[in-house]
Structure 1
Amino acid sequence: MSENQGARSDAERHLEESLASVREALSGLRYGNVSLTIHEGRVVQIDVTEKKRLKPN
């Protein structure tokens, strides 16, 4: 495997892991926000803000 292929598979692996993390953040979230922080083309942080809806009295 060449160095370029190794770097490509590392990037693909990171992308798959990032997508899995985003899916996990979205599962079960009914109301809220998911924010991604990208640094040098890679996901480095996922922020989830969940909002709770209260029923009116």
Structure 2
Amino acid sequence: MTKLTKEQFEYLENSLRHIDYGSILITVHNGKVTQIDATEKRRFTNQPNQLQTVSNKS
């Protein structure tokens, strides 16, 4: 059974509290957590009447 350190647990808990859409990947090597990746997804709906252009004026 893999055990989390206090730091790992707190990071995982914080990630879960703040993510609305996305994924959290926990990497385990030799029975120990070596990495935690949190990826948040942002989805935007573009409606034709709300599109704005961005210009780069020099």
Bin of the TM-score, shorter chain as denominator length:
0.5 to 0.7
More helix by share: 1
Report the number of matched residues.
46
TM-score normalised over the length of structure 1: 0.62
Give the % identical residues: 33
The CA RMSD measured in Å over matched residues stands at 2.2
Structure with bigger gyration radius: 2
| Moved segments of 4+, more than 6 Å | none
Q: Report 1 or 2 for greater relative contact order, CA contacts < 8 Å, sequence distance ≥ 6.
A: 2
After TM superposition, list the pairs within 5 Å mapping 1:16-31 onto structure 2.
16-31=6-21
**Structure 2 unmatched runs, 5+:** 48-58
